Amino acid sequence: MRESYPFKVIDLFAGAGGLTSGFSEKLGNNFQSVLANDFNNCAVEAYNANFGRHCVCGDIIALLSNPNIEIPKADVVIGGPPCQGFSLLNKNRDGDLRKEMWRPFLEVVERADVDVFLIENVPQLLGSPEYFAIVERAQQMGFKIASAKLCAADYGVPQTRHRAFILGCRFADPQDVFPPKPTHRKPNENDETNGLFADSISGVLPVWRTVRDAIGDLKPPVGIEIRQTKPPYDLHFGRTPTPNSLARYQAIPDEGMNRFDLQRLAPELTPDCWIRKTSGGTDLFGRLWWDKPAFTIRTEFFKPEKGRYLHPSQHRPITHREAARLQSFPDNFLFCGSKIEIAKQIGNAVPPLLAAAVAHSILELLCRKRQVVEILEPYPTDSQLKNEAVLCLV
C-alpha cells in the first residue's frame, strides 16, 4: 500500500531525539527523519547514533543563513524551541531571546513547504503573548491551529510530566484529531473514553504506569562511572555521597518523604536555607513512591536537593538508567558524552511515548490527505513505486 511509505520529518532543537523517537516506526508511527538540528554537540552525536547521520550541529540562525545547507522538502517540522524563557524556574524572563526561537522554527516550516508542524514547550507557553504571536504568524502562513497541555502519564510514561503542544495543519482542522486520546488513566478515575486505545476486552484503559513498573527489576547500581557493559547496567551507576548526605537519606526512609520530614525528624541535618523556607518546594529532597508515577525528570535528577529524585527504598538518588526509563526511553537508546551531558539529554527530552501519541494524531491527518490525493491521482506504476522507495532511503 502507498500508505506504507514514510512521511518525512524535520526535527529542530532536537536534543538526543526524544521527539523523533516517538515518530519512529518502532513506536507504531510512519515517519522518516530527513534533517535535524541542535546546538549541543553531544546531543547531536546521540541523535545521529540513533537515527542516522543527518543531525546538523549549530545555531539554527546560522543554519538558515548557511548557503551550503539545504532545507529539504518534508511533510512535518517538529521541535521544542528552548523553553527556559517561559519556565517558572526562570525569574528573569523579560527580554529573554529564547522566547523568540519559534521564529526561525516557522521559517524552516515555510522553506520545507510542510503541511504540518508541531511545537512542544512548557505549559507556560499556552496563553502567553508569544503563544498568540505564534498562532497569528502561523495563520498568516495558512495553518489552522490546535493546542493542548498533555500529561505524559496519560500516554504510558511513568511520570506526571506536563508539556504544551501547538499543532498546525494547512489542509484540515487539527482539532479533529488532536489532542490524542489517552492510552492510560489515573488510578480510581472513571474511564469514560472507551475509545481507540481502550482495552479490547474490558473497555477500560490501563492505569498509569508506576516507578515500580519502570525500574523495579533493576539491581542496585555499581560504581560511579559509565560502565562498559550491556544495557541497562551501562548507565546504572551511583554517586559517592558525603557522610552528611547519606545521613539525610537515612533520616527519611519512607516513600514520599521530603525536606519537611527531614526538618521534623532530623533538624540538625537540615540546611538553614530549608528551615528558613517555610513554604513551597515540597518535592525537594523527596523520595519517589513505588506505586505512583515519578514527578518531572529534569536535567539534574542526580541531585536530590533539586527535586523528588530519591529512590523509593534505597538511600540514593536515581541513576541515569532509572531516569531514562522514567522518561520512557528504551534501554537500547544510545546517549553520548559525559555523565552530565547524558543527564541533559535525558532530562531535556520529550518522553518518547508521549511523542508517539502526538505523532499518531499527525499520522492520521497526513494519511487522510494522502488517501484524498490517491483518489484524485492515478495509482503509480511499479517502476514509480520502486523509485519512490529508493528516494525515501537516501
| Residue 193 belongs to domain with CATH number | 3.40.50.150
Neighbours of 76 (CB within 10 A): 26
- The three-state secondary structure class of 150 is strand
Q: Does residue 309 sit in the same domain as residue 168?
A: no
pLDDT score recorded for residue 194:
44
- Quote the CA–CA distance of 82 and 88 in Å, as a whole number: 14
Upper half-sphere CA count for residue 101 (Cβ side, 13 Å): 24
- Given a cut of 70, whether residue 112 has pLDDT beyond it is yes
Q: Does residue 133 sit in the same domain as residue 170?
A: yes
Q: Does residue 356 sit in the same domain as residue 342?
A: no
Q: Is the peptide bond before 232 cis (omega within 30 degrees of 0)?
A: yes
What would the grid cell of residue 282 be? 515540597
Kindly report, residue by residue over 330-351, the tens digit of the pLDDT: 999 999 999 999 999 999 999 9
pLDDT score recorded for residue 200:
44
Q: Does residue 360 sit in the same domain as residue 310?
A: no
Confidence band (pLDDT; 50, 70, 90) for 387? very low
- Given a cut of 50, whether residue 393 has pLDDT beyond it is no
- Quote the CA–CA distance of 255 and 348 in Å, as a whole number: 26
At 291, which CATH number? Answer: 3.90.120.10
- Quote the CA–CA distance of 35 and 44 in Å, as a whole number: 11
Domain membership of residue 95 (yes or no) is: yes
Q: Which of residues 348, 366, 383 is at a domain's end?
A: 348
What would the grid cell of residue 215 be? 525500574
Q: Does residue 70 sit in the same domain as residue 116?
A: yes
Non-local (6+) Cβ contacts of 107 within 8 A are: 64
- Quote the CA–CA distance of 72 and 260 in Å, as a whole number: 54
Instruction: For residue 185, give the DSSP letter.
Output: B
pLDDT score recorded for residue 370:
83
Domain membership of residue 206 (yes or no) is: no
- Given a cut of 60, whether residue 184 has pLDDT beyond it is yes
Query: Is residue 32 within a helix (H) or strand (E), and if so which, with residue range?
Result: strand 31-38
Per the structure, the complete domain to which residue 75 belongs is given by 2-200+351-393
Q: How many folded domains does the chain comprise?
A: 2
Q: Does residue 10 sit in the same domain as residue 151?
A: yes
Domain membership of residue 35 (yes or no) is: yes
- Quote the CA–CA distance of 220 and 129 in Å, as a whole number: 47
Q: Does residue 356 sit in the same domain as residue 343?
A: no
Q: Does residue 110 sit in the same domain as residue 47?
A: yes
**Residue labelled with grid coordinates 548526605:** 245
Q: Which amino acid is at 356?
A: A
**Residue labelled with grid coordinates 532543537:** 13
- Given a cut of 50, whether residue 44 has pLDDT beyond it is yes
What would the grid cell of residue 278 be? 517555610
Q: Does residue 75 sit in the same domain as residue 220?
A: no
Q: Does residue 99 sit in the same domain as residue 51?
A: yes
Q: Does residue 247 sit in the same domain as residue 163?
A: no
- Measuring CA to CA, which residue among 361, 366, 370 is closest to residue 2? 370
pLDDT score recorded for residue 16:
98
pLDDT score recorded for residue 373:
61
What would the grid cell of residue 324 be? 531514562
pLDDT score recorded for residue 295:
96
Whole-number mean pLDDT of the chain?
Answer: 89
Q: Does residue 162 sit in the same domain as residue 293?
A: no
